[in-house]
Amino acid sequence: MKIAPASVIRAAERRLFETGTVDSLTLMDAVIGRLYQRFRYGVPELAGLQPERVVVYAGKGNNAGDAVGLAARLGLPVELRCACDPQELSADTKAQLDRVSAPVSLGVPKPSPRTLILDGLLGSGASGALRAPYRDLVAELNALRAASPSSLCVAIDIPTGLDSDTGEAGPDTVRADVTCPIGCVKPGMLADGVEQYVGRLLPIPLPEVELEPPDLGEMTGVTPWAAAEVADADLIHGWLPRRDQACYKNRAGRVAIVAGSIGMLGAAQLCAEAAMRVGAGLVCLYCLPKVYPLLAVRVAPEVMVRCVDSYAEIDEPHAQALLIGPGLGRPSPSEGEELRRLAEGFSGTVVLDADGLNLAASACWKPQPNWVLTPHPGEMRRLFPSAPAGRCDTVRDYLRQHDTVLLLKGARTIVADRTGLCFNTTGGPYMANGGQGDTLAGAIAGLAAQGMSPWRAAVLGAWGCGQAAAMAWTRLGYPPAVTASLVSRNLPEALACL
């Protein structure tokens, strides 16, 4: 989905209503239908919730109508908390309320498990500090979320209290687990540090309205690219086409991997198996003699493990992707030079991760257009010591100096090259554990080997790993963490969602 300020979507809606072809209630019904479909089928965090009730926090505007209409579709008991007398709700919200067939309660909700909380207090057009009663209702909502186990808070369009253009959040801001931006993603949802309020992004398309190109000056510091967007299922659908019936392993892509060292064998295993699980036809893992007997017995039997006395022996003319770095340790200067020559001489996609990035930083490798760099913030500082404070600014300034594909990990992973930038929408804090980057690097290499461009492979790899993690998190009942091994095992099903 495209990124644009709230003023752009509001202007587009006004133009649509002026034509007289669609009224506001009809458009609201269309949005509610898409919300319901995404809730039931599109997002594992929501599809696996199985809530026992819905608590709707409603303001005076039509944002409340979307929330009430969704509650009506779900057919569950509804508890309604209004910022006004129910008779003062907008006409469209009242129309949605009339469709609620389940019992409706107006009392203060009590904490209980498996509660779906809908934030429909204020939309993206609101700005400034919250005043009563909105401030008090936000505090009540956040307290209910914190005290209700196995529950989720979903913000309709934007979390109440968050500035949609700047991302500024006061102390009275809704803490959502999922935010559903409607029609476009507002730049404030992507600002550094707002993830704790926004949670996962679940964009809701609005094809009825035609957006005019936004003024990039309105999005300074957030999206410095004209081709900025977020990675959702609508964007990446079709990137992995159905295979021909005559497809066989040598036509499904070959990945060469240089990874693993004593004490870090798991990294090599994770990346190799992830490359295999996203569909690469052949995966060949190269290692030195001291590592080979330990590594060969632990990886999946489908992975080929090859021992080389020197990295200079690696010759992969038929591979489409090369991955260097997970668990590699600290190669000697001569080994580092061998790896540099291998990467610079490779014609397919080269993925550098972990110790491969550290080696590139210390030896001043020059990134190439066919490379994908996958640093976390610490590795990014080693690659780019003069990086500015902001994540988007860091990516922009680095790519001004290096023509390559950069994936900057974080709560909202960024993938960019010199032509465009994309924010990932999947995953969550349950991925904060070791091995996730190794799985991601293997997934990117496996996707690139199947003919995908380096940029697309990075975008889809990040989306797929986040989606796989969400599936595991939901099935396990929302534990604190999901291991990288579980993410890898869920990768095939995650890609099947597309």
Q: Which residues pair with 352 in a beta bridge?
A: 324, 373
pTM of the model: 0.94
Asked if residues 307 and 288 have their Cβ atoms less than 8 Å apart, the reply is yes
Q: Is pLDDT of 225 > 90?
A: no
What's the rounded mean pLDDT across residues 163-178?
94
Q: Round to whole Å and give the CA distance between 168 and 222.
A: 12
Maximum Cα–Cα distance across the chain? 79
pLDDT at position 222, please? Answer: 47
Position 201 confidence tier, pLDDT thresholds 50, 70, 90: very high
Q: Round to whole Å and give the CA distance between 352 and 359.
A: 9
Position 56 confidence tier, pLDDT thresholds 50, 70, 90: very high
Which residues are CB-contacts of 483 (< 8 A; sequence separation ≥ 6)?
433, 435
Dump pLDDT digits (tens) for 448-476: 999 999 999 999 999 999 999 999 999 99
Q: Is pLDDT of 109 > 80?
A: yes
pLDDT at position 234, please? Answer: 86
Q: Round to whole Å and give the CA distance between 335 and 288.
A: 11
Q: Is pLDDT of 362 > 60?
A: yes
Query: Can you count the helices (H) and strands (E) in the chain?
Result: 17, 17
Position 226 confidence tier, pLDDT thresholds 50, 70, 90: low
Residue type, 246: A
Strand (E) or helix (H) holding 494:
helix 484-496
Position 224 confidence tier, pLDDT thresholds 50, 70, 90: very low
Q: Round to whole Å and give the CA distance between 231 and 426.
A: 9
Dump pLDDT digits (tens) for 124-147: 888 888 999 999 999 999 999 999
Position 39 confidence tier, pLDDT thresholds 50, 70, 90: confident
CA angle 476, 482, 484 (to 5 degrees): 135
Neighbours of 279 (CB within 10 A): 18
Coil, helix or strand at residue 290: coil
Q: Is pLDDT of 381 > 70?
A: yes
What's the rounded mean pLDDT across residues 170-187?
94
- Nearest Cα to Cα of residue 160 among 134, 178, 183, 181: 134
Q: Are 6-223 and 249-496 the same fold in CATH? A: no
Position 103 confidence tier, pLDDT thresholds 50, 70, 90: confident
Q: Is pLDDT of 214 > 60?
A: no
Count of CA atoms in the C-beta half-sphere (13 A) of 199: 23
pLDDT at position 48, please? Answer: 85
Task: Tell the CATH superfamily of the 6-223 domain.
Answer: YjeF N-terminal domain (3.40.50.10260)
Environment class of residue 480 by beta-carbon count within 10 Å: exposed (0-12), middle (13-18) or buried (19+)? exposed
Position 149 confidence tier, pLDDT thresholds 50, 70, 90: confident
The domain spans of the chain are: 6-223, 249-496
- Average pLDDT of the chain is 93
pLDDT at position 220, please? Answer: 46
Asked if residues 187 and 219 have their Cβ atoms less than 8 Å apart, the reply is yes
Which of the following CATH numbers is that of domain 249-496: 3.30.70.100, 3.40.50.300, 3.40.50.1100, 3.40.1190.20? 3.40.1190.20
Environment class of residue 95 by beta-carbon count within 10 Å: exposed (0-12), middle (13-18) or buried (19+)? middle
Q: Which of 30-34, 39-43, 65-69, 413-417 has the lowest mean pLDDT?
A: 39-43
Give CA 216 to chain center in angstroms: 23
Q: Is pLDDT of 52 > 50?
A: yes
Q: Which residues pair with 357 in a beta bridge?
A: none
Asked if residues 114 and 150 have their Cβ atoms less than 8 Å apart, the reply is yes
- Nearest Cα to Cα of residue 72 among 49, 38, 95: 95
